[in-house]
């Protein structure tokens, strides 16, 4: 009888430990899923309308996506990359700090711009690169984090320049570049 009790108790312990390990591993995988997808691709898909969540915003550290069922998932951004979304304008803009991938609308949709970006150390990230704004009027860029940049945008002979930085408390939505 004692031997049967030992066997039953041992089996029960194995089942409990196995269940705990399985559940623990599953929750780690689920928590890791928020970091697993290609964030750059996910941001692009949301910006271009290939993915259509209820809402999505991106700050200096995270992408926050709320799906149609109101479930919110937070994704950590890459440690060495910073997301910028720039909406040059001539007449109309809106105040913004944290870019809404599903809500922000810039004035100049589907327009081509000549973009140059230099960092404060004199390195050139882009030189006269042709970029096209999306249907939302924004150009999305991924640049190195923790730096200061001079950004120049040219469109139809009009120029806008700004200095900005990519530190943890900096804005991701740039709506202050008026072309003149």
DSSP letters, 64-107, are EEE-TTS-EEEEEPPTTEEEEEE--BSS-----SSEETTT---S
H or E element that contains 38 = none
Q: How far is CA 152 from CA 18, 85, 163, in A?
A: 58, 14, 9
For the chain, how many helices (H) and strands (E)?
A: 2, 11
Q: CA-CA distance, 20 to 176, in Å (whole number)?
A: 52
Confidence of residue 37 (pLDDT cuts 50, 70, 90): confident
Q: 140-179, pLDDT tens digit by residue?
A: 999 999 999 999 999 999 999 999 999 999 999 999 999 9
CB-based contact 89:41 (threshold 8 Å) = no
Q: 79-127, pLDDT tens digit by residue?
A: 999 999 999 999 999 999 999 999 999 999 999 999 999 999 999 999 9
Q: Is the pLDDT of residue 18 over 60?
A: no
């Amino acid at each position: 009888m004692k031997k049967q009790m030992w066997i039953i108790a041992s089996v029960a312990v194995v089942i409990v430990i196995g269940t705990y390990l399985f559940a623990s591993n599953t929750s780690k995988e689920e928590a890791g899923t928020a970091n697993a997808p290609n964030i750059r691709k996910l941001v692009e898909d949301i910006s271009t309308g290939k993915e259509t969540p209820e809402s999505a915003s991106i700050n200096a550290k995270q992408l926050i996506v709320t799906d149609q069922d109101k479930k919110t998932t937070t994704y950590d951004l890459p440690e060495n990359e910073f997301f910028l979304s720039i909406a040059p304008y001539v007449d109309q803009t809106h105040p913004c700090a944290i870019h809404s991938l599903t809500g922000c609308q810039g004035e100049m949709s589907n327009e081509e711009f000549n973009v140059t970006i230099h960092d404060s150390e004199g390195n050139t990230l882009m030189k006269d690169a042709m970029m096209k704004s999306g249907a939302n009027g924004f150009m999305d860029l991924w640049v190195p984090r923790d730096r200061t940049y001079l950004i120049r945008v040219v469109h139809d002979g009009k120029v806008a320049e700004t200095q900005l930085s990519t530190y943890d408390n900096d804005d991701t939505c740039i709506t202050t570049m008026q072309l003149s």
